[in-house]
Amino acid sequence: MKSLNLTFKGSLGKAHTLKLGYANDNLDAKTVKNTMDQLAALDLFVANGEKNLRSTCFC
């Protein structure tokens, strides 16, 4: 089983990881980066005063 770990950096400098199981093996770096940017823009992961997540793709 393949998984995809997406790492984001918050406004306080902390790293946050979103782990997705059953990832598609055919994803390219550009697709992953674009999707991470879209997720970061949604402000889904705002907590404890930390926001403005930035994608840190190590693709």
Per-residue model confidence as pLDDT tens digits over 17-53: 889 898 888 888 899 889 888 988 887 777 777 766 6
SS3 of 7, please? strand
SS3 of 30, please? helix
| CB-based contact 45:16 (threshold 8 Å) | yes
Q: How confident is the model at residue 57 (pLDDT cuts 50, 70, 90)?
A: low
Query: Which pLDDT score is estimated for 59?
Result: 56
At 1, list the tokens. 């089983």
